[in-house]
Structure 1
Amino acid sequence: MRFFILSIILFGIALTAKGQISALGGWIRSGQKPVAFASVRLIDSKIGTTSDSLGKYSITNLKPGKHIISFSALGYSPIKKELIIREDETVNLDVDLEESGSAIEEFIVTGTMKEVSRLASPVPVEVYSPAFFRKNPTPSVFDALQNVNGVRPQLNCNICNTGDIHINGLEGPYTMILIDGMPIVSGLSSVYGLSGIPNALIERVEIVKGPASSLYGSEAVGGLINIITKKPQNAPAFSGDVFTTSWGELNTDLGFKFAAGKKAEVLTGINYFKYGNRIDNNKDLFTDVTLQDRISVFQKWNFNRKENRQFSLAARYNYEDRWGGDITWDKAYRGGTERYGESIYTNRWEMLGTYQLPLKESVMFSWSLNDHDQNSVYGNTIYDARQKIAFGQLSWDKKIKAHDLLIGTALRYTMYDDNTPATALLNGLNKADKVWLPGIFIQDEIALAEKHKLLLGMRYDYNSIHGNILTPRFAYKWMLNENNILRLNAGTGFRVVSLFTEEHAALTGSREVVVTEQLKPERSYNANLNFIKRIYFKSGSFIGIDASAWYTHFNNQIIPDYLSNPNQIIYSNLQGYAVSRGLSANFDMTFTNGLKIIAGTSLLEVFSKNEASGKKIRPFLNEKWTGTWGISYKLENLNLGLDYTGNIYGPMLLPRLSNSDPRSGISPVWSLQNIQFTYTGLKKIELYGGVKNLLNWTPGKNEPFLIARSNDPFDKEVQTDAAGNVVPSAANPYALTFDPGYVYAPNQGIRGFLGVRLIIK
């Protein structure tokens, strides 16, 4: 009897326990995109799980009661949800994660020309999503890159604000700019091509630091930046982003898509930027910032084909009217000697496309065309130039057991013409510079074992002027475990130099260009060691570390000599070698309380060594160390986000005209810092505002002047001796000539900004 009663009691307890079993499940997405392998954890216990490849998750055997659940994933801001789970209840909870700016788990194409997971790629590629750039809204991709570690937008002129992109201390011509993998921006158009790409249409930006010529050919000698635009099917139906600043800048980004029948989807983007205030805070009677009127229109078509084969077409048109100079200048003075102004009219169009051939094998044809027409005046010096680039590439992607092969052939044609001696014959007649660059390449990614990958690559190019060029490549990846990855990369790069497309000082007319020999192509040899570590905490917080050490050796480097003669730029191949080496580290920290930190630092050493003198020479405008950061915090109760971003740069050598030039030869440590508040409490609308350049830092506050002899830009009062050397005089005590090249940072001081974003999905 006692045994019978005990059995009934135990059976009842079992039934009660069974009735208390509860469960939680749902989908984790970001917009319409599933978030795979997201972490789901109960804050008050050790219970947790991860989402599958489709973003679905499930937790069973939950105790009834109040729970706080943490959802986090790499590249997304973590969130916490509080809910009460009752007995014997299955709760469905779908979560929408917001991109945080870092994109460690993104799929990439830049490192190997194939779409692979960033962590699976043997080539280290840094990826930045639109959320990263929204932390500090800017009117162009050129300006947006200021918060990327190891990448620095460099202004090269105090008047027209021409600039280039430095990667790991190397000047702009060593950086290749791609749009959707196509070498559509190069030479003359590097900065102009980065202005006017509608930010609303950017899916992500991929950056490779180090030579990539074995895949992309000339100019990918120091690194490359690949701007990936959105696919129409992934873009919102409409997006708008408009902001203005207290200086009077106005930037408008619009994007919208529509279906062109059943077989095509079309994405259109429009960017308009306007700045028209003549501000002269440094009192040199010249504009501190160039005035601009720019419009860009971009359209991309994706066609639906059988078996999901790719077919896309895209085109962009960019027009810009930009000028700087004497604050009393207007277009009536253009090209004359009464008022000094630097005025640039730019007309540029681009087309690109990708077509997957209707074959069983994966064979892709990609092509691009662009035409860049630039009409410029620098005072009374006229620079009228045109550049056309046509590019085509056929590639075959084939997997054979442990081998993942990519075989391809490419052809690039470049035509460059201007009104300078660069394209003139000895008899004075004009002859455009035309270069054919056919090439073939092969790449084999070998799975040596479960955790080991080896990539071998080789490219052969024939330059119609310089002949044969061979660029091998090697990459090795060791995945110690899922949270620790080691990569070793080595390769070569090459670059064919076109002086008048790269040196602004050669165009202003302030210096004569002297070429002492037939210039040879530059060659680089690079090794890069990269380590990625991911640390997860039980609370759902995460820390990611991406560290690299690199060494790049250059032969035949062309270094402009500004010092031998203040009125000349003298070019020749370096009789010796040059080196770029250093260390860098990126830190990505995500906490469940809403705090997000992205920070980076780089230590750089860049120098050239002449065989004759044996001396190391550090280049101008090259910092020895740099740092960047972005700190974000979300106040969920107030629907308010806070972003604090900034950068800091170590001292640089500055291009003085001579020893008698009173300006400093070394820049101070300088930093640009910004703060932004974003309100998300309105449906489909974001309001944002803040302050740029919080410290109100501008160059030259402790200098007698920034622009040499801005009071005499045509050198009318400059006196010279019989040999043509400038001599001191009462009107020119330092024996200087007009020169706007003493610049290392923007002249724009503190300013407020206010904007609104509208997204209709």
Structure 2
Amino acid sequence: MNKLYLMLLLSLLLTTRLCAQTKGSLKGIVSDEQNKGIPGASVLLEPDHRTVIANRKGEFIIDQLYTGTYQLKITAVGYTAYTSEVEINPENNEQIKIRLKAAENGLDEVSISSSHKNPDNLIDMINTVMPSTIITRKAIEQMGSRRLDEVLKEQTGLAIVNDIGNGNRAVGLQMQGFDSGYTMIMIDGQPMTGRNSGNLDLSRITVSNIERIEIIKGASSCLFGSEALAGVVNIVTRKNIKAAQGLAALRYGSFNMVDATLEGETPFAGKKGSVYISGNYYRTDGFNSNPYLIEGKTAPPFDSYALQTRAAYQLNAVNTLNFNTRYATRHSVNNLNYGVKPSTDVMDERDLNGSVSLNSNFSNGTRLKSQYYLTRYQSGQDFTDLNSGAQLPGNRFTQYLHRGELQAAREFSSRLSVTTGTGAAYEQLNSVSYRGTKTMTNYFIYGQADWRATGAVQFTGGARFDYHDKYGSKINPSLGLKFTPIKDLVFRAAVGTGFKTPNFQQLYLVFTNIQTGYTVLGSEEYAREIKILQDAGQILNIWPVANRIGALRPERSVSYSTGFTLTAIKSVKLDVNVFYNDIKNFINSEQVATKTSNQQIFSYVNIAKAYLAGTEIGINWSATPSLNINAGYQLLYAIDRGVIDSIKNETGLFAQVYDTEINSLRKSERSDYFGMANRSRHMANIKFIYEHKAGFTGSFRINYRSKYGFMEANRANNFIDNYDTFVSGYFLFNLSIQKTLLNKHLSLQLTADNIFDYRDQLMPAQQGRAIIGGITYRFFK
């Protein structure tokens, strides 16, 4: 890592040899076919990554530009994207005029650049010094993906993790080594609820109505809140309709998978208003990755329905009213039989999200958004013992989130823009696993300023103040720098702080898995519940780590990131990012006791110090006009400093390790410690994407994940060592091809996921080979 930092420093020093040049500017106006200015059009200048938004008249200006040739990209929702080369000459300051054509089939053709203005959230999710990514609708279609987890697991720095200890449905998203509880998942700028043991199961979210996915990595909690220490994933659905159109799609494939979608959208009232509606039905028989399972599936079968509606109406030249609702259900029945206690597991989920907002765009450039948001997630699970016929209640809860927020944004000049916001969130959880109704309330205020000091230097600074009714107040600042010494090279650096309070589960959960017998106790409930089990004679032993259980403290983090983007030649782009997250009071799940039945008891403790550090590298190569190759790699170190200190000082919980080769305890060494469980040291991917003018597209994708620690297998020493159980490293191969016909009205698709049928019983959510065929018809004039 030190070598990489040295390389970055040397590169920076070398670029300073460039002499200052006379700089020019680019001025223009974006209009439609009737010469009417298009406000909000996104203007992107590559390779500088300079982005501005056209004003109410469609005018824009980008200054402080070096002399040379640039690639100009202009996009606006509802219009066909515009791309051309422009020459920047300090002696030529004439205004250019760009006329955009209305998109004939916006469901297919809308192009989103690497920056945009989102009416659902005035915070610019992508124009940030933090590492960021956009996954477009086009890219999702090329992958042939059906659920959100399938899309995200193929992105650099992201992994879908399986948590057998918390049940076969407990899968979640890991970002840069952080568990899924540290990544905020949002739909149209609002957070989702409904986590199973801290994990938000992304397989319950269909991608059928997703316009794009925005990803920010790093200490985003400065603006987004305590669940965003690792970053943010924002799912953006269809909006800004300009013409009546529709879509019907059907997919069928392995495991009796059926995915059916109907979409329709239309403007009304002379295009002052618009409405969009989408319905999706999805079912699967599930799949099994465990050879010891006699009957049933490790990934349960389910069927689900999802309905999404959006509506907008322009009240006047300033104000627009927006409505958004989403309702989804999922029903699952899974018969399980390992040869001992056959049972039936039935689970029902209902997920409701709704919001109403007023967006105001004033003539002086100020934008306001006032919004109320409600989400309700309900989950019910029951087990039936097939031997006795007895029905046993499982995990069942209802979670509410009420959130009100006011945002304001203002571009004071081409050099300075400010975004601020304030609001409150009230969360309530009713669960059979908790004693009584639990509530949490949080009040917040935040602000961020983007200042372009010169044409080459841009600063971003912000802060967020949170007041939590249980854990008090905290201020989290952040600061970022973007430096563009030459147009082909951009350096980034950022530092930010984070603050995360314990969640309901970590505090109050009292849960026993009926099938496997393990128990999870929240830290607030541990003392009482463990005494009940002791009095009942059910405790075999309590581990020394249990002495660390107490009142959980909020986690604090400081995140650093630095990197650069280099466009060596027009067809090759290199992104490098180095990150380091220093965490205090890290909350971790630990086994704290063993029952007389040899089943495990878990609870939650604060780890004094931990760090997550690594490097991400991405390469994008346009090999030919038709072939694009993307490759990504992540190196990750996830380390508990307490383990390292204990080994170094030869004292404490981690000073000894059980060596299976000598069948005895010995002194621990640094090389014995592999790192935190469920985290791979190496992850990589490569994508080959081919597009032919005749309407044929194809993608071939390879994903690799190196081995990672799963659980202790010899004697408990509270850290993953080389004698414990690991998930072996593996490759996954995926293929998708698509052909459009009838002037892009009809498209046919064939997808093959996990071509070589890789399975592992320690990865219950990893499906085997899946072959899927699909047909889509688009209705437009």
Deviation at 1:279, TM superposition (A): 6.1
Residue aligning to 2:283: 274
Q: Tell me what 1:290 maps to.
A: 300
What CA distance in whole angstroms lies between the structure 1 residues aligned with 2:235 and 2:242? 16
- Alpha-carbon shift at residue 354 of structure 1 (Å): 2.8
Residues in 1 aligned to 2:450 and 2:416: alpha-carbon distance in whole angstroms: 6
- In structure 1, what is the Cα distance between the partners aligned to 2:603 and 2:575? 38
Separation of aligned partners in 2, 1:193 and 1:295: 16
Contact 1:309 1:356 in 2 (8 A): yes
Match of 1:695 among 714, 734, 756: 756
The letter for the 2-side match of 1:143 is E
Q: Equivalent residue for 1:531?
A: 564
2:351 aligned with 1:340:
no
Paired residue for 2:419? 406
CA distance in 2, matches of 1:673, 1:206: 25
- How many angstroms apart in 1 are the aligned matches of 2:121 and 2:578? 21
The counterpart of 1:474, out of the listed 471, 479, 483, is 479
The one-letter code of the counterpart of 1:282 is P
Q: CA deviation at 1:297?
A: 0.3
Following superposition of structure 1 onto structure 2, how do residues 452-491 of structure 1 map, counting pairs within 5 Å? 452-491=457-496
Pairing 1:652-691 to 2, within 5 Å after superposition: 652-656=708-712, 659=715, 665-683=725-743, 684-691=745-752
C-alpha distance in 1 between matches for 2:741 and 2:701: 23
Q: Secondary structure at the match of 2:711?
A: coil
Structure 2 contact 42–115 (Cα < 8 Å) conserved? no
Q: Which residue of 2 aligns with 1:148?
A: 155
Match of 1:199 in 2: 207
Residues 502-550 of structure 1: per-residue CA shift (max 9 Å, x gap): 999955242223432111111211001131222444xxxx222222100
Confirm or deny: 8 A CA contact 1:160 1:343 kept in the other structure: no
Any conservation in 2 of the 1:635–1:641 contact (CA below 8 Å)?
Answer: yes
CA–CA distance in 2 between the matches of 1:417 and 1:281?
33
Q: Which residue of 2 aligns with 1:448?
A: 453
Q: Work out the CA distance in 1 between the residues paired with 2:322 and 2:120.
A: 21
State the match for 1:633 in structure 2.
690
> Do the aligned partners of residues 549 and 169 (structure 1) sit closer, same or farther apart at CA in structure 2, a change above 3 Å counting?
same
Find the counterpart in structure 2 of residue 316 from structure 1. 326
Matches within 5 A, 1:138-217: 138-157=145-164, 160-185=168-193, 187-188=195-196, 194-217=202-225
Instruction: Determine the structure 1 residue equivalent to 2:443.
Output: 438
CA contact (8 A) 2:171 2:765 kept: no
Mapped to 1, the partners of 2:130 and 2:775 lie a distance apart of: 38
Indicate the SS of the match to 2:605: coil
Q: Structure 1 residues 95 and 512 mapped into 2: Cα distance closer, same or farther (>3 Å)?
A: closer
Distance 2:248 2:105 in 1: 21
Q: Is the 8 A contact 1:111 1:208 kept in 2?
A: no
The separation in 1 between residues aligned to 2:123 and 2:225, in whole angstroms, is 17
Q: Secondary structure at the match of 1:144?
A: helix
Write the distance in 1 (CA, Å) between the matches of 2:265 and 2:103: 26
Q: Which runs of 5+ in 2 are unaligned?
A: 1-31, 47-67, 77-81, 86-100, 385-391, 524-548, 648-653, 655-672
Superposition CA RMSD, Å: 3.9
Residues 435 and 746 of structure 1, relative CA distance in 2, 3 Å threshold: closer
Instruction: Give a deviation string over 1:312-331, Cα, whole Å, max 9, x none.
Output: 110011111123342699xx
CA gap 1:754/1:352 in 2 versus in 1, 3 angstroms: same
Shift of 1:634: 3.2
After superposition, the Cα gap between the structure-2 partners of 1:326 and 1:505, relative to the gap in structure 1 and judged at 3 Å, is: farther
Equivalent pair of 1:142/1:194 in contact (CA under 8 Å): yes
Tell me which moved more, 649-658 or 101-110.
101-110
How many pairs were matched up? 629
Distance 1:656 1:134, change over 3 A: farther
- Of residues 349, 358, 367, the one that matches 1:362 is 367
Greater Cα shift, 280-289 or 209-218: 280-289
Which one is further off, 120-129 or 298-307?
Answer: 120-129
Could you tell me whether the CA contact under 8 Å between 2:180 and 2:200 is conserved in 1? Answer: no
Letter in 1 for 2:617: A
Residue pair 1:399, 1:405 contacting (<8 A) in 2 also: yes
How far has the Cα of 1:229 moved from its partner? 1.4
Structure 1 window deviating more from structure 2 (99-108 vs 403-412): it is 99-108
Q: Are the aligned partners of 1:232 and 1:267 in contact in 2 as well (CA < 8 Å)? A: no
The answer to whether the Cα contact below 8 Å between 1:696 and 1:749 also exists between their aligned partners in 2 is yes
CA-to-aligned-CA distance 1:168-212 (integer Å, 9 cap, x gap) = 121110111111111234645986674454423212111111121
Tell me the distance in 1 between the aligned counterparts of 2:715 and 2:123: 53
Supply the distance in 2 between the matched residues of 1:101 and 1:578 (Cα, whole angstroms). Answer: 43
* Cα shift at 1:748: 2.2
Task: Map 1:125-140 onto structure 2 (within 5 A).
Answer: 125-140=132-147
User: Could you tell me which amino acid in structure 1 is paired with residue 765 of structure 2?
Assistant: P
Q: Per the alignment, do residues 526 and 629 of structure 1 end up closer, same or farther by CA in structure 2, a change over 3 Å counting?
A: same
Alignment partner of 2:577 out of 548, 551, 557: 548
- The change in CA–CA distance for 1:634 and 1:290 in structure 2 (over 3 A counts) is same
CA shift, 1:161, in A, is 3.0
Mark the CA change 1:323 to 1:232 in structure 2 (over 3 Å): closer, same or farther. Answer: farther
Equivalent residues of 2:74, 2:83 under 8 A apart? no
- How far apart are the structure 2 equivalents of 1:38 and 1:97? 26
Contact 1:222 1:493 in 2 (8 A): no
Q: Which residue of 2 aligns with 1:591?
A: 623
Structure 1 residues 121 and 663: CA distance shift in structure 2, 3 A: closer
Q: Is the 8 A contact 1:522 1:555 kept in 2?
A: yes
TM-score (norm 1): 0.74
Tell me the distance in 1 between the aligned counterparts of 2:287 and 2:105: 44
| Contact preservation (8 Å) 1:110, 1:226 | no
Matched position secondary structure for 1:623: coil
Q: Name the CA distance, whole Å, in 2 between partners of 1:457 and 1:48.
A: 34
**Contact 2:368–2:407 (8 Å) recurs in 1:** yes
Q: 1:479 to 1:324 in 2, by over 3 A?
A: farther
Bigger Cα displacement from structure 2, 500-509 vs 136-145: 500-509
String of CA shifts for 1:605-640, please: whole Å, max 9, x gaps: 112122772566722211111012221223446x43
- How far did 1:72 drift? 7.6
Q: Which one-letter code corresponds to 1:134 in the other structure?
A: E
Paired position in structure 1 for 2:637: 605
Conserved? CA contact 1:652–1:667, under 8 Å: yes
Question: Residues 348 and 48 of structure 1: is their aligned pair in 2 closer, same or farther, counting only changes over 3 Å?
Answer: closer
Deviations 1:409-442 (A, max 9, x none): 110111012112xx32xxxxx2x11111001112
In the TM superposition, residue 250 of structure 1 has moved relative to its aligned partner by 0.7
* 1:556 and 1:574 in contact (8 A); partners too: yes
Q: Distance in 2 between matches of 1:97 and 1:49?
A: 29
Shift of 1:275: 1.6
Structure 1 stretches lacking a partner, 5+ long:
1-26, 40-46, 56-70, 75-92, 330-336, 425-429, 701-742
Tell me the distance in 2 between the aligned counterparts of 1:177 and 1:588. 27
Secondary structure of 2:676's match?
Answer: coil
Percent of matched pairs sharing the same residue: 16
- Number of the residue aligned with 1:492: 497
Q: Deviations over 1:255-274 (max 9, x none)?
A: 11133544321111111111
| TM superposition shift of 1:247 | 2.1
- CA offsets 1:262-313 (integer angstroms, 9 cap, x no match): 4321111111111236768835213243110100100011112323544311
Classify 1:404/1:641 alpha carbon distance in 2 versus 1 (closer, same or farther; 3 Å).
closer
Deviations 1:651-702 (A, max 9, x none): 01012565599997112111221112212234311101132211111014xx
Q: 1:375 to 1:492 in 2, by over 3 A?
A: same
Task: State the distance in 2 between where 1:182 and 1:629 align.
Answer: 32
1:93-147 per-position Cα deviation (integer Å, ceiling 9, x unaligned) = 999999999966342669994448x5x5434321111122223223211222111
